[in-house]
Structure 1
Amino acid sequence: MKKYVIYYRVSTKRQGESGLGLEAQERDVALFLTQFSPEPYEVVGTFTDVKSGAKAARPELAKAIEEAKAHKAELLVAKLDRLSRKVSQIATLMEEKGLTIRVAAMPTATPFQLHIYAALAEQERVFIGARTRAALTSAKARGVKLGGLRENTRTRNVEAVAAADAAAQQVASIILPMRKAKATLAGIADALNDAKVPTQRGGKWHPSSVKNVLSRLAC
């Protein structure tokens, strides 16, 4: 029987108390268990930290790892960044003896693929941070008033746009040649899914998501 220890992480106390952030993780884990896990399976433990992904000290993660080792279970997380946002920390965890990590949003990914994905994600976050700061500096230089929205909300909105643009650029070399060759949106989506290329949120491609990327690339 396949055994799992589930680990969730939310970044703020408010998210932990309200359940915001947990619902999406629970949904992804449930989807993995019902559609991708060998049957029968058993969940032998569930742990949740309310900590930033940049912080190495997470007591519930430590407990989850020990539980997984004790039961010879896989440590199951919804997304790779729930373990950490630092590639060095993720690499250390993947190299830990007796520990197998499974990511629900990338059910067939190998440890090598997870490592590469973590490295790319870290580079993307560095780029987005620089791009956000540059955008804010440019806006201030033009005399744009940045009031109205709360500072954190406004920054998150800018970061979300930058993240979507960066994600579009990552798949541009696949999507643009296929579109130029008259491939349909559905055909492009199928090709990306067959190649196991995840969307920005780690899900599957659909014609509408391909169309959204093409719109961003045309900007």
Structure 2
Amino acid sequence: MIKYVTYKRVSTQEQGRSGLGLEAQSTDIQRYLEHSAEKPYKVIKEFVEVLSGSDDSRPELFKAVQLARKEKAILLVAKLDRLSRKVSYIATMMEDKTIQFKVAVLPQADNFQLHLYAILAEQERTFISQRTKAALQEAKARGIKLGGLRDSTANLNKARADKALIFAKSIENVVMPMVKQKMSLGAISRALNESGIHTAKENLWKPAQVSRVIERLLANPSVRSRKPQVISAKPR
């Protein structure tokens, strides 16, 4: 019998947010067990942590790893970034011959692919942060006020639209190449989720949200000049 130890994590900020909550992780893990796990199997224990993924000193993860080692069980997480957001930590786990782990949303991925996913996700998160900061500085230089209360609904809506465009532009280099490849909205949302790139509110992507980002980008002059001739907008 194959034994599993499951580990789920949410940060303090992510608690209660749809998509990154414990319920969504439980769903991903259960789907893996039903469709991808070797039979028969048994989940011997579940561990839950409320702590940032950038902090590797996580007591519940330590307990989960220790139990998996002791029971020769597979450590199962919903997504790679639930284990850690650091490539170095993922690499260390892969090199440890005393522990085996699986990622529910990437059931067929081998160690090389998981390492590549971790590298790309960490790199893109860094790029997004840098592009967002640059866009905020540019907006500030133009006199756009993005924080605090507004004097009117119109101003509030304008501030929200500015924030939405800034975020859209921060992921332009990720989204638009997929649009040019005529990928569907559903395929793009899955690719973003599997890469650990989340929405502006740190939720998982849905086709409708991807569509709004694309619309904002194509309505922006700097992006419109590079507009692809054909866009696949039908979610699968």
| TM bucket, shorter chain | 0.7 to 0.9
Q: 1:86 deviation in Å? A: 0.7
Q: Which runs of 4+ in 1 moved over 2 A?
A: 156-167, 211-219
**Where does residue 201 of structure 2 map in the other structure?**
none
Contact 2:75 2:102 (C-alpha < 8 Å) held by counterparts: yes
* 3-state secondary structure, aligned to 1:5: strand
Q: 1:3 deviation in Å? A: 1.2
The yes-or-no answer on 1:10 pairing with 2:14 is no
**Where does residue 98 of structure 1 map in the other structure?**
98
**Where does residue 201 of structure 1 map in the other structure?**
193
Describe the shift of the 1:216–1:75 C-alpha distance in structure 2 as closer, same or farther (beyond 3 A): farther
**Where does residue 176 of structure 1 map in the other structure?**
180
* 3-state secondary structure, aligned to 1:15: coil
Alpha carbon RMSD of aligned pairs, Å? 3.5
User: Gapped runs of 5+ residues in structure 1?
Assistant: none
Give the residue type in structure 1 aligned to 2:180: L
* 3-state secondary structure, aligned to 1:65: helix
Describe the shift of the 1:167–1:45 C-alpha distance in structure 2 as closer, same or farther (beyond 3 A): farther
The yes-or-no answer on 1:120 pairing with 2:120 is yes
Describe the shift of the 1:54–1:185 C-alpha distance in structure 2 as closer, same or farther (beyond 3 A): closer
Give the residue type in structure 2 aligned to 1:122: E
Describe the shift of the 1:125–1:56 C-alpha distance in structure 2 as closer, same or farther (beyond 3 A): same
User: Gapped runs of 5+ residues in structure 2?
Assistant: 150-159, 196-206, 224-236
For residues 163 and 78 of structure 1, the distance between their equivalents in structure 2, rounded to whole angstroms, comes to 26
Work out the number of aligned pairs and report it. Answer: 194
The yes-or-no answer on 1:136 pairing with 2:144 is no
Quick one: percent identity of the two aligned structures? 49
Deviations 1:35-90 (A, max 9, x none): 11122110011111111111110011111011111111111000000111110011
Contact 2:168 2:216 (C-alpha < 8 Å) held by counterparts: no
* 3-state secondary structure, aligned to 1:146: coil
Describe the shift of the 1:158–1:92 C-alpha distance in structure 2 as closer, same or farther (beyond 3 A): farther
* 3-state secondary structure, aligned to 2:91: helix
Contact 1:164 1:200 (C-alpha < 8 Å) held by counterparts: no
Deviations 1:128-185 (A, max 9, x none): 0101101110111111111247xxxx8x96785356534325x53xx635x4xxxx95
Contact 2:7 2:47 (C-alpha < 8 Å) held by counterparts: yes
The yes-or-no answer on 1:167 pairing with 2:174 is yes
**Where does residue 72 of structure 1 map in the other structure?**
72
TM-score by length of 2: 0.70
For residues 37 and 23 of structure 1, the distance between their equivalents in structure 2, rounded to whole angstroms, comes to 20
Q: 1:22 deviation in Å? A: 0.9
Instruction: Indicate the structure with greater helix content.
Output: 1
Contact 1:12 1:51 (C-alpha < 8 Å) held by counterparts: yes
TM-score by length of 1: 0.75
Describe the shift of the 1:129–1:21 C-alpha distance in structure 2 as closer, same or farther (beyond 3 A): same
